Amino acid sequence: MPLPKRQFDLGVDSEADDWMRQAYELLAGHPELAYSWGELQEAIVGKDASFEKASKLVHALDVLAEIGAFDKAFVHGTDYYAFREEFDVNTWERDLSKV
């Protein structure tokens, strides 16, 4: 199945793109908090997710950090993610209307 060009550019499939939206909405709704990748995994794919799904989610979260939507920090052996900037979740481009 072909991927939209934006998903290709980001290196994610439709499932990961959906998870990116879910993570973004959760963090954007709580900009004062940082969530561990485990907390995000439990909220998005469930705590008993397969290694494959967990790895795909980590990649999706890292993509959000790479494009500037999230900040990422390594705290006491765990990756944490926090909301950084408004993005259009349909294009994953900065939402310039919010600047």
CATH topology of domain 5-84: Arc Repressor Mutant, subunit A (1.10.10)
Looking at the DSSP bridge assignments, the partners of residue 94 are: 87
Give the tokens for residue 90: 């349909």
Q: What is the DSSP letter of 94?
A: E
The per-residue pLDDT for 98 is: 65
The per-residue pLDDT for 95 is: 79
Predicted confidence (pLDDT) at residue 56 exceeds the cutoff of 90 = yes
- Round to whole Å and give the CA distance between 28 and 46: 20
pLDDT, tens digit (0-9, with 9 covering 90-100), for 1-40: 788 888 998 999 999 999 999 999 999 999 999 999 999 9
